[in-house]
Amino acid sequence: MSSKIKILPQNLYNKIAAGEVVGRPESVVKELIENSIDAGADEITVLIKDAGKTLIQVADNGCGMTEEDAIVAFQRHSTSKISTYEDLENIQTLGFRGEALASIAAIAQIELKTKTISEDLGTVVKIEGNEITEASKDSAETGTSIAVKNIFFNTPGRRNFLKSNQTEFRHIYDTFVRQAVSNPGISFRFFNNEELIFSLRKTVLSERLKELFGEEFANSLIPVKVEHSVVKINGLISKPGFTKKSKQDQFFYLNKRFFTNKSLNFAVYSGYDDLIEKGDYPSFFLFIEIDPKKVDVNVHPSKLEVKFEDESAMFGFIRKSIKDTLRASNITFDIGFSNTMSFENTPDNLEHKKPDVNFTPKGFNSGFSSSPATKGTTSVHSIFEASRRDDLHTDNEDEIPLNSDEGIQKNIFEHKKDEDEKFNLWQYQNKYIMCETATGLMIIDQHAAHERVLYEKALMRLNSQSSFSQQLLLPIKVKLTKIDFQLAKELQEEIHNLGFAIKFVSNDVIEITGIPSDVKPGNEDKILQELIDQYKEYEVQLNLEKRDNLAKSFSCRSAIKAGERLQHQEMFNLIDSLFASQMPYVCPHGRPTVIRLTTEELDKRFSRS
């Protein structure tokens, strides 16, 4: 009987193993930039075409390689970074596993040109699917240039799973920015389809952030620097008044290596305490220095995950560092802190005294109005009129179930009123609309309700490809990051259909000349920026279809917020528009917009039944 268990051929094994290291073009960019940094380069150029699908080229002025090293470098488990287990326990470099070049060579066509400072001629190596097709000498500058062409050319199934060029470009852009942030002492150039995206000079962190994110954003940051015998942390965090509505621009580095950790992200967030509102997120660029023996960066080939020897202590250290920084910055309220903190103790041994702050929310000028009822739905106006005519009256309450959609609408204003008498509506904590009904109490989440209304309007505009803008008296210029500018160009037609009239002025500046009727005047630039930010976040997290993503993003960022005070007519109009929508009982994200408490339920709670 022949054996069923076989040893896989090396070329097949390499293709399978490459999937752990190379998931998309961005993975290649990350590995090649890290190799350039490890080679001591202080000048790095990144060039991509077709979002890296056709070409990824990274060139540096590092130490270069000899011909022998250049050939061996593409064999699996070959590395110059470690040689013993002790080296693995004390990793100081970004790369160390010896998998990157072999994995890339398994699924792409590669041309390498490299030269050391002591050599007169450089080495050229060409590889296709792990097979060396050429090794020769040629003139070259000191350093290394690697061109990766036609990624996944021999694994078409994986190539078919790549996303749109814009999505793949955005992943590459994010990786480039992460490396540029952590290495301000290196000059970088970044080309996309021969267009220069960034030309970054050697500088310091604060200046590098201005180049990448804009001067206004960089000036909203405050420095963090805290040292402990075991760990050090330094970097920059946003002032409480400059938070964002998405979790972007949050960067953690461990010994200059970018990593992600939800627990430590929350440690930063909790360090702000009540200085920021729920749903707002701070920006931060935090660099942790710790003995490599106390962390494990060898969790996954992507090297984005890190295990700490004592993560709870790290949580407490970061949280207290943020608290102390904010307290010392003279921009926060007077908050009481405990002066004792041991890195070895539990994460939270800090006392907190809530500041006594009188907060008066800004007034709200409603952007919504009463809408005609959609077919198959009932508006508040029609309910009120039907109530006055007794059209909704029935001798048998059970004929329309109270917990049905029709039943809830029926009971909004079942009791008769005079023509000029107002509905019994009031606002609770500037967050919920309370509405007395004949059978109890209806509570409406004003943000979720407005989201539903705006979402359906936005979808209608996007699907019908029709738009109406309110023209601005004075155009507003908005400076975007390079990636946001590229995304705005890609979504130009859809943004126009939503009601934004924009012009592209330069390679990072747009001009807003008109806004949707649902956007409050005075927040035009903020709403557009938040729309773009939310779109990017939804695209990564939820993988939504473009129009649905835009409609959800627009409704989320344009809807009235918790804390905004509404006038009686505005509350009435919102309820009217909500019950005229096709799906009034949930927001676009599935959260309820309305809950109902019957008098019978209340009586039971108070033991009256």
DSSP-derived secondary structure letter, 438:
T
* Segments forming the whole domain that contains residue 31: 10-202
Residue 298 pLDDT: 59
Q: Do 148 and 268 fall into the same domain?
A: no
Instruction: Write the CB contacts of 590 (distance below 8 Å, at least 6 apart in sequence).
Output: none
Confirm whether 211 is domain-assigned. Answer: no
Residue 84 pLDDT: 54
Pick the closest to residue 501 from 523, 529, 470, 526 (CA basis). 470
Confirm whether 508 is domain-assigned. Answer: yes
d(CA 448, CA 450): 6
Residue 145 pLDDT: 97
H-assigned helices in 164-213? 165-182, 205-213
**Rg, Å, the chain Cα set:** 30
Q: Do 369 and 299 fall into the same domain?
A: no
Confirm whether 338 is domain-assigned. Answer: no
Helix (H), strand (E) at residue 552: helix 546-558
Q: What is the dihedral of CA 233, 238, 244, 250, to 10 degrees?
A: -20
Last residue within a domain, chosen from 149, 176, 202: 202
Residue 22 pLDDT: 85
Residue 80 pLDDT: 56
Confirm whether 210 is domain-assigned. Answer: no
DSSP per position, 451-477: HHHHHHHHHHHHHHT----EEEEEEEE
pTM: 0.70
Low-confidence residues in the chain, pLDDT < 70: 1-21, 76-98, 297-303, 330-423, 609
Q: What is the largest CA-CA distance in the chain?
A: 101
Q: Do 109 and 233 fall into the same domain?
A: no
- Is the CA virtual torsion 239, 243, 249, 251 positive or negative? positive
8 A C-beta contact, residue 244 and residue 533: yes
Residue 142 pLDDT: 97
Structure tokens at 119: 């050599």
Residue 251 sits in a domain of what CATH number?
A: 3.30.230.10
Q: Do 260 and 382 fall into the same domain?
A: no
Residue 25 sits in a domain of what CATH number?
A: 3.30.565.10
Q: Do 540 and 606 fall into the same domain?
A: yes
Q: Do 169 and 298 fall into the same domain?
A: no
Confirm whether 341 is domain-assigned. Answer: no
H-assigned helices in 465-519? 482-490, 492-498
Q: Do 421 and 491 fall into the same domain?
A: yes
d(CA 245, CA 280): 5
8 A C-beta contact, residue 442 and residue 594: yes
Q: Do 235 and 146 fall into the same domain?
A: no
d(CA 60, CA 37): 9
- Work out how many domains the chain is built from and give that number: 3
8 A C-beta contact, residue 259 and residue 302: no
Confirm whether 342 is domain-assigned. Answer: no
Residue 371 pLDDT: 38
Sequence length of the chain is 609
HSE-up of 33 (CA within 13 Å, CB side)?
31
Pick the closest to residue 135 from 68, 79, 75, 77 (CA basis). 68
Residue 526 pLDDT: 87
Q: Do 497 and 400 fall into the same domain?
A: yes
DSSP-derived secondary structure letter, 42:
S
Residue 376 sits in a domain of what CATH number?
A: 3.30.1540.20
Confirm whether 440 is domain-assigned. Answer: yes
Residue 430 pLDDT: 93
Last residue within a domain, chosen from 279, 306, 328: 328
8 A C-beta contact, residue 286 and residue 233: yes
Residue 86 pLDDT: 58
Q: Do 193 and 57 fall into the same domain?
A: yes
Last residue within a domain, chosen from 169, 202, 235: 202
Residue 296 pLDDT: 78
DSSP per position, 579-607: HTSSSTTB-TTS-BSEEEEEHHHHHHHTT
Residue 9 pLDDT: 67
- What single letter denotes the amino acid at residue 57? Q
Instruction: Write the CB contacts of 4 (distance below 8 Å, at least 6 apart in sequence).
Output: none
Confirm whether 353 is domain-assigned. Answer: no
pLDDT digits (tens, 9 = 90+) for 560-592: 988 899 999 999 999 999 999 988 998 998 889
Tokens 């690697």 -> residue: 146
Residue 521 pLDDT: 77
pLDDT digits (tens, 9 = 90+) for 491-531: 999 999 999 999 999 878 999 999 998 887 777 888 899 89
Q: Do 264 and 189 fall into the same domain?
A: no
Helix axes 380-389, 568-579, angle to 10 degrees: 90
Q: Do 166 and 227 fall into the same domain?
A: no
